[in-house]
Amino acid sequence: MKRRKLASITALAWLVLALLPLAAAGRPVLRVAYAGSMGALMGQGLGPAFERTHAATFQGTGQGSYALARLLAAKQLQADVFIAVTPGPIDVLRKAGLVASVVPIASTHMVVIYSPRSRFAPAFAAAAAGGQPWHAVLAQPGLRFGRSDPSIDPQGANVLFTLQLAARYYRQPQLVRRIAGDIINPRQIFTENSLLSRLEAGQIDATIGYASAAHSHHLPTLALPDAINLGNPAMRADWYAKAGIELPDGKALRAQPLVFYAAILKTARQPQLAQQFIAFIHGPRGQALLRQYGYAPATQGAS
């Protein structure tokens, strides 16, 4: 009798497990392509919370925003919502006729992020306390500096803009060359998704990146002045616009304040669910998650 009961329970358990994929298959799927720096927020925060409150399945793809925009424009990637930092990647989709309206959802600013395992960690901590300048620490021989490719990732371009503005601000004309080298420097360039994990592991010593991403990964940072950190929209026209690069393909990029924008694609398979997701981000729970993961509200002056 006990064996028969145990067998029945086991069979029922297997039946439940077998039906779980079918139940999940009946849920609508929201596909979101987002800036790679938002990985922790999307994968651990907004995505799971939206699934719980909207009986939907969240599928996210995170990598450099320019790379994602080009894949979407070429119809090589399907998404309902696209979220990027700065207007540039959104403009790629505007030109392709794939988006009509865009809404700002959050903002951040640039900071120096360093590895707690780095032998230079004490020097960065001393710089944060008013010791030698942060850019002098980054220029020390043997320091392993990492950044992403500016041609596919806005964060990679923003590193260079930050260094250019710092060169002006501190009147150090060779600062960019000493720290970053060439615009495309293979020794420094890693994928956006791997940069912070490399910092955590101590494989690189430091980067310049988004304060929100550093907060999400619990990594130590060194603050930068507004004139350098790309976080103050009021400085856009008169100061940030002085920073710019020309990529090897001839495309010119200019510095922009660090605002995250969301757009619903015209090719969305779940347009109503996409609208609900953006409304969720702007709602109390979404805003609480943004704060929890280190994001600031969308700043005044966002375009």
Q: What is the residue-wise DSSP string for 240-292?
A: GGG-EEE-TTS-EEE----EEEEEE-TT-S-HHHHHHHHHHHHSHHHHHHHHH
pLDDT in tens, 137-160: 999 999 999 999 999 899 999 999
Same domain, 220 and 137: yes
Q: Domain of 282?
A: 31-53+60-108+258-303
135 shares its domain with 158: yes
**What average pLDDT does this structure show over 196-213?**
94
Whole-structure pTM value: 0.85
pLDDT score, position 12: 38
Convert the pLDDT of each residue in 184-196 to its tens digit: 999 999 988 789 8
User: Which bin fits 75, alpha (ψ -120 to 50), beta or left (φ > 0)?
Assistant: left
With respect to residue 18, please indicate whether it lies within any of the assigned structural domains.
no
Percent of the chain residues topping a pLDDT of 90? 82
Does residue 178 share a domain with residue 263? no
d(C-alpha 177, C-alpha 15), whole Å: 63
Residue 1 in any domain: the answer is no
CB atoms inside a 10 Å sphere around CB 172: 17
Position 25 scores a pLDDT of 58
What the block records as the tokens of 281 is 């981000």
pLDDT: which is higher, 192 or 33 = 33
Number of structural domains, the chain?
2
Same domain, 241 and 264: no
Give yes or no: residues 116 and 175 share one domain.
yes
Q: CATH number, domain at 271?
A: 3.40.190.10
Rounded to a whole number of angstroms, the CA Rg of the chain reads 22
pLDDT band at 10 (very low <50, low <70, confident <90, very high): very low
Does residue 70 share a domain with residue 193?
no
